[in-house]
Amino acid sequence: MKKLLVLTAFITGLSVQAQTDETATIKSIYTHALTKQQGYEWLRKLTGMGGRLAGSDEATEAVKAFQKVADSLGFTTQLQEVTVPHWVRGPKEAAYYTLNGQRYEVAVRALGGSIATPAEGLTAEVVEITSFEQLDTMTDELEGRIAFYNMPMDPAFINTFFAYGSAVKQRYVGALEASKKGAVGVVARSLSSSINPYPHTGSMTYAGADQQIPACAISTLHAEQLSRDLKANPKLEFFMQMAPRELDSVVSYNLVAEIKGSEKPEEVIVIGGHIDSWDLGTGAHDDGAGCMHSLDAVWLLKELDLLPKRTLRVVFFMNEEFGLNGAKVYAQRSKEEGIDHVIAMESDAGGFTPRGISMVAPDSIITRIRKLRDYLEPYGVHEFSETGAGADISQLKSDDLVMIGLRPDSHRYFEVHHSSQDVLAQVNARELELGSATLAALIYLLDKYDIVAL
Amino acid sequence: MKKLLVLTAFITGLSVQAQTDETATIKSIYTHALTKQQGYEWLRKLTGMGGRLAGSDEATEAVKAFQKVADSLGFTTQLQEVTVPHWVRGPKEAAYYTLNGQRYEVAVRALGGSIATPAEGLTAEVVEITSFEQLDTMTDELEGRIAFYNMPMDPAFINTFFAYGSAVKQRYVGALEASKKGAVGVVARSLSSSINPYPHTGSMTYAGADQQIPACAISTLHAEQLSRDLKANPKLEFFMQMAPRELDSVVSYNLVAEIKGSEKPEEVIVIGGHIDSWDLGTGAHDDGAGCMHSLDAVWLLKELDLLPKRTLRVVFFMNEEFGLNGAKVYAQRSKEEGIDHVIAMESDAGGFTPRGISMVAPDSIITRIRKLRDYLEPYGVHEFSETGAGADISQLKSDDLVMIGLRPDSHRYFEVHHSSQDVLAQVNARELELGSATLAALIYLLDKYDIVAL
C-alpha cells in the first residue's frame, strides 16, 4: 500500500506528507460516520413518516421535516415548487384464479399510473409471454385476454441493475404493447431478483396507446406458480381487481440546502437523492438511503471542519419515480439563476455496502478521479466505472460537469426495491454510513485537488 | 481490462487465448452458481435441521444427512469419529434488576461452557468494567458482586472481525479474571456490532481458575440500559438464573467426502467449514454457509466438468466452536494416513458477498495467487490479504501448504453471529452462491497453474 501511495504521489505531484495527512483525514471521516451513525438516525425519522409517493401528503411533509433538520444544521434552505402527478392506489388489490375447483389467491399490486379494472373486477383467460419476440409474432391470441409477462431478471448478471435494465420493459411498456394486440389487462412478473411473495410495483406508460388497459405486478412466487398452472390448464380464468385513480396534480417541493463555499462560492457541488418513494414500503433503500447519504456526507464534512472551498448543495429531488419532475425543475431553476454546477453526485442505488462509483465526465477528469481510488480501497470502494451517474442529476448534464453516482453492493437491492419490503429493517447502519463517508471523502478530495472541468 | 489480461499473460507466460478461455470458464462457474443456487438449497436443508451444538443429536444427524448428499453426488465418503464435549444449555435463562421499584427483564444467555447459577438464581450488586486495565486496578470492589463487562466492539474497524478480535477477551476470559477478584458471576456484553435485543453466546474458559463462576452474555441493548441504570443506582441488585450442564462427552463425526484426482491423485486439495454451530440460531452463517460453500464449490466444478488434476476433499469439521476437536482429529488422521495436502481452503466468515481472500503461504506462492486477482475482480473479489486463513485448516499448517480463507463482506456478520438471528432468512442466495463460485474458481485456477509449494 505504501508503494501505491508513493506512486500516486509521484503521478499527481503531491508530497508523501500530504498523502499521509489525507489518509488520516479520510480515516476520520469513516470513523465519524461509523461511530455517530447520524444518517441512519435520519433514515429512521424519514421512514417513520411512511411511504412517500409523489403527490402524497407524506412526501411533502417529509421534505418540510428535513428542511427543518437542514435549517438546524446551519444550511440556507429553500423549497422549490414542483408540480407532480397524483396517482393513488385506492383500496387493496385482489387477484385469483381457479384450477381443478380450487381457488388460488395471488399477490398483485397495481403498477404506478395504471387505470383501474371495472369495479367488479376483470376476469379473462391468461396468455403467458416470455419474450417480446414472442409477442411480436402474436396475431389474435391476446384478443380479450390478459397478457401475463413472465420474463425473470437474468441471475447471471453480477450487477443486478443490468439484469433489471434488461427486464424492465415488460413492466414499463407491457400494457402499451399488449393493448395493441387486443389484451384487456396485464399481469407483469415483479422485477425481483429472488422468488418471494411480494409484488414489486413501478412506473408504466400508456404513451401513444389507443386503448388503456389495467396493469398489475404479480409476485415472482405467484408468477412461477401461475406459469406452472397455465401448463396444466391453458384455459384457466384469471380475476384481477384494483381501483387506482389519477387525481389532479398537486404542488410539492424539492428541498435545496446550501452551505456557501469559502473560496469559490460561485462554483457549486450538488449532491442528492430523491425523497419520493413508492407507497408499498417506506422507501428506505429507494431512495431514503440516497437522501440520507447526501445530507450525512455534508454533515460529516461540517462536523470535521472539512467543508470545501466550493459551495455545497444538498438536494432532495421530488418525484423521480413518476417522471423526474423535481430534477427537471431543479435544472431549469438553476439555469435561470445562473448556478454554475461543477460536480453533481447522486446516490440512488440503495444503502448497501459501497463497492465503487460510476462517472460521467471528460476523459481527463475520469483519469484524475481514478487516481483517488487508493484512498478509498481501504474502505472496500474499488469499482470505478463509467456506467452513468444518476437519473436526477442527469438533467444537469453538460460538457463541463463532473457527474458521479455511488455504487453500493447490488445483490439484495432488487429483493426489496418497489415492494413492501423496502423498509428500515432492510438497511444496515454500518453499510449505510460507509456510503455517506465515501461520498464525503470524494467531495473532500475532488474539491481539494480541483478535480473539475476547466 | 484487456490490457490487464495481456499484462498478466506476459507475466505468467500464458497465451492470450488461454486467458480468454479461462475467463469464459470462470464466467460459467459464476453463472451456474447464480442460476442453480444449489448451495442455498442445501443450506435450507441444513438449517432446517436446527442448531447443531457439538455433542447434540442435531449435529451428528446433520453430518450423516450430508454424507448421504455427498454419496448421491458420487463422492467417496467417510465419517471420522470425533469425541466432543457435551454442554447443554438447560431451561431458559432469566435475568432482571429492579430500579425505583420497577423490574426490568434483560435478555441473557449462558456462555458456552459456563456452570449454572444456584437453582434459585444468583442476586448481587453489579460492577461495570469497561477495560481490562480498570479490572487490573481493582482490589476488593468485585468481592461478592457480579462483574459486568461492557466493552463495545469498536465501530471504526472496517473489517468487523478485527473489532471482534479486540473485544472477545471479555467473553472468553471474563469469568476467569473476575473470579480472581472475588466476583460471584459475570454478565458480558454481547459481541455484536449493533445495538439489538439478542444475546450472542460463544465459548469461554475456566482454565486455571480456582473458582468457577457462572457467566452469561447480555444483549447490547440491555447492556446499554444496564450501564445507564447503574449510573442512576450503583447499588442496584442484579438477578441471574441459568442451568447449563456439562454431560459426558460423546462421539460425533467429521464428514470427509473425496473425489480422486485424475492426474495427481496423491496431492490433495481440502476445502471445508465446520458443521457444528451454537444452539441459539441454526448456524446459517456460522458456519452452515462455509460447509455449503465447500460442497457447492466442488459440485460446481463437477457439474461443469472442471474437476482438478488433484484429489479434492470436502470436510465438514465437527466442533470448531468448543475446542476444534474435529480439526485436530482430521489433522492427526491425515498425518497417520500420509495424506499430502497441498492446498487447504476454508470458509468460516459468513455467507455474505465475497470481497476477497486471505492467505497463508510462502511469499512466492502469495505472489502467484495475487496474479489471479484479475480473474476474480469482475465478481467483486478484490481484497487479497495475508491475515490468516481459518481455524480448522490451521491445524494442518506446514511450510509447504497453501492456506486460503474466503473473506465475505463483514458488516452484517456480527449482528447475527452466535445469536438467535443466525438463521436462513439472514442469508441471501446470490451472495452465498458468489462465495461458492469464488472458491470453485480458485480451485480451478490454483490446480490448473499448479500454484502449490514444491
Residue of A430, A431, A432 for testing the chain B interface, max B β-carbons within 10 Å: A430
Closest CA to A70 of A289, A299, A250, A224: A299
pLDDT at A453: 86
| Long-range CB contact pairs, A70-77, < 8 A, 24+ | A70/A255, A70/A257, A70/A295, A70/A314, A73/A299, A73/A302, A74/A259, A74/A302, A75/A257, A75/A258, A75/A259, A75/A298, A75/A314, A76/A257, A76/A258, A76/A259, A76/A260, A77/A255, A77/A256, A77/A257, A77/A258
CA distance A109 to A222: 12
Q: Which of A377, A380, A430 sits opposite B193 (nearest CB)?
A: A430
Burial A16-35 (b: 16+ CB within 10 A, else e): eeebeebeebbbbbbbbbbe
Three-state DSSP state, A355: strand
CA distance A104 to A97: 5
Q: Is the pLDDT of residue A1 over 80?
A: no
pLDDT at B453: 86
Residues of chain A positioned with their CB less than 8 A from the CB of B354: none
Q: Is the pLDDT of residue A12 over 80?
A: no
Judge: B378–A158 Cβ closer than 8 Å, yes or no: yes
Residues of chain A positioned with their CB less than 8 A from the CB of B379: 158
* Per-residue pLDDT of chain B in tens (454 residues, 90 and over written 9): 344 444 444 444 456 666 789 999 999 999 999 999 999 999 999 999 999 999 999 999 999 999 999 999 999 999 999 999 999 999 979 999 999 889 999 999 999 999 999 999 999 999 999 999 999 999 999 999 999 999 999 999 999 999 999 999 999 999 999 999 999 999 999 999 999 999 999 999 999 999 999 999 999 999 999 999 999 999 999 999 999 999 999 999 999 999 999 999 999 999 999 999 999 999 999 999 999 999 999 999 999 999 999 999 999 999 999 999 999 999 999 999 999 999 999 999 999 999 999 999 999 999 999 999 999 999 999 999 999 999 999 999 999 999 999 999 999 999 999 999 999 999 999 999 999 999 999 999 999 999 998 7
Nearest CA in chain B to A428: B412
Closest CA to A185 of A207, A159, A217: A217
How confident is residue A9, by pLDDT bands cut at 50, 70 and 90? very low
Strands A264-274 and A340-346: parallel
How confident is residue A6, by pLDDT bands cut at 50, 70 and 90? very low
Q: Residue A211 corresponds to which cell in the numbers above?
A: 386503448
Neighbours of B118 (CB within 10 A): 11
Q: Residue A176 corresponds to which cell in the numbers above?
A: 402499451
Q: What are phi and psi of B34, to 5 degrees?
A: -70, -30
Q: Which of A355, A378, A415 sits opposite B380 (nearest CB)?
A: A355
| Long-range CB contact pairs, B10-15, < 8 A, 24+ | B11/B371, B12/B368, B12/B371, B12/B449
The reply to whether ipTM tops 0.90 is: yes
Judge: B428–A409 Cβ closer than 8 Å, yes or no: no
User: Measured between CA atoms, how close is B192 to chain A, in angstroms?
Assistant: 12
pLDDT at A92: 79
First to last CA, chain B: 31
pLDDT at B454: 74
The residues pairing with A305 across neighbouring beta strands, listed in sequence order, are none
Q: What is the mean pLDDT of chain A?
A: 95
Q: Is the dihedral of CA A423, A425, A431, A432 positive or negative?
A: positive
Judge: B34–A156 Cβ closer than 8 Å, yes or no: yes
pLDDT at B9: 43
Q: Which of B30, B158, B380 sits opposite A378 (nearest CB)?
A: B158
Q: What is the pLDDT of residues A29-62, one digit of tens each?
A: 999 999 999 999 999 999 999 999 999 999 999 9
Q: Residue B321 corresponds to which cell in the numbers above?
A: 466452536
CB pairs < 8 Å spanning A and B: 71
Judge: A431–B415 Cβ closer than 8 Å, yes or no: no
Judge: B35–A155 Cβ closer than 8 Å, yes or no: yes
User: Measured between CA atoms, how close is A451 to chain B, in angstroms?
Assistant: 24
Burial B180-193 (b: 16+ CB within 10 A, else e): ebbbbbbbbbbbbb
Nearest CA in chain B to A156: B31
Tell me the residues of chain B between 43 and 72 that have a Cβ less than 8 Å away from chain A. Answer: none
Residue of A409, A424, A436 for testing the chain B interface, max B β-carbons within 10 Å: A409
Q: Is the pLDDT of residue A127 over 90?
A: yes
Judge: A409–B30 Cβ closer than 8 Å, yes or no: no
User: Measured between CA atoms, how close is B28 to chain A, in angstroms?
Assistant: 9
Q: Residue B244 corresponds to which cell in the numbers above?
A: 447449563
Residues of chain B positioned with their CB less than 8 A from the CB of A1: none
Residue of A34, A376, A410 for testing the chain B interface, max B β-carbons within 10 Å: A34
Q: Is the pLDDT of residue A393 over 90?
A: yes
pLDDT at A165: 97
C-alpha dist (Å) from residue B49 to A202, B143, B210: 39, 44, 39
The residues pairing with A98 across neighbouring beta strands, listed in sequence order, are A103
Judge: A430–B155 Cβ closer than 8 Å, yes or no: yes
Judge residue B262's burial from the number of C-beta atoms within 10 Å of its C-beta, 0-12 exposed, 13-18 middle, 19 or more buried. exposed
Percent of chain A surpassing pLDDT 90: 94
Judge: A156–B412 Cβ closer than 8 Å, yes or no: no
Residue of B409, B410, B433 for testing the chain A interface, max A β-carbons within 10 Å: B409
Domains of chain B with CATH codes: 2-87+248-448 (3.40.630.10), 90-243 (3.50.30.30)
CA distance B188 to B223: 8
| Residue B31 forms contact with A (CB below 8 Å) | yes
| Residue A412 forms contact with B (CB below 8 Å) | yes
Three-state DSSP state, A235: coil
Residues of chain B positioned with their CB less than 8 A from the CB of A408: none
Asked whether the beta carbons of B89 and B114 are under 8 A apart, the reply is no
Judge: B431–A411 Cβ closer than 8 Å, yes or no: yes
Asked whether the beta carbons of A197 and A107 are under 8 A apart, the reply is yes
